[in-house]
């Protein structure tokens, strides 16, 4: 199984640097980022870079919810309503994590 997994990851890396159409290379890079933990699913089917997610958490930790919403809108191309709902969900999940600790 590990050899198969390594082969798939190797193929995806080759594909990213190949002369394939741009949209295929971008999809391959997206898969690689998700697999490596470089992307985080913040809501069903909505992924952002882990560094962007960390920035949003920093805003929330500093009581800057509006800045967090703006950041999410910029990086995920969402509406204000969608961003607000997702930020509310993130806040709730983070509160639950902290209360469990």
Tens digit of each residue's pLDDT (9 = 90 or more) over 55-100: 999 999 999 999 999 999 998 889 999 999 999 999 998 888 888 7
CA neighbours closer than 13 Å in the CB half-sphere of residue 55: 14
Mean pLDDT of 15-24: 87
Tell me what percent of the chain is helix, strand and coil, each rounded to the nearest 5.
75, 10, 15
Task: Report, in angstroms and rounded to the nearest whole number, the Rg of the chain calculated over CA atoms.
Answer: 17
pTM: 0.67
In angstroms, the CA 101 to CA 96 distance is 9
Query: Is residue 2's pLDDT more than 90?
Result: no
Q: How confident is the model at residue 12 (pLDDT cuts 50, 70, 90)?
A: confident
Conformational region of residue 45, where left means phi above 0, alpha means psi within -120 to 50, and beta covers everything else: left
Record the tokens describing residue 5, joined without a space. Answer: 């997994």
Q: How far apart are CA 23 and CA 20, in angstroms?
A: 8
Q: pLDDT at position 56, please?
A: 95
Contacts of 52 (CB under 8 A, 6+ apart): 71, 75
User: Residue ranges of the domains in the chain?
Assistant: 1-36, 39-101
């Amino acid at each position: 199984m590990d050899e198969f997994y390594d082969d798939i990851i190797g193929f995806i890396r080759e594909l990213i640097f190949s002369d394939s159409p741009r949209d295929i290379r971008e999809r391959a890079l997206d898969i690689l980022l998700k697999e490596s933990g470089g992307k985080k699913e913040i809501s069903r089917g909505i992924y952002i870079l882990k560094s962007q997610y960390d920035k949003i958490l920093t805003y929330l930790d500093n009581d800057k919810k509006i800045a967090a919403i703006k950041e999410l809108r910029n990086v995920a191309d969402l509406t204000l309503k969608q961003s607000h709902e997702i930020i509310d969900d993130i806040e709730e999940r983070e509160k639950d994590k902290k209360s469990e600790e």
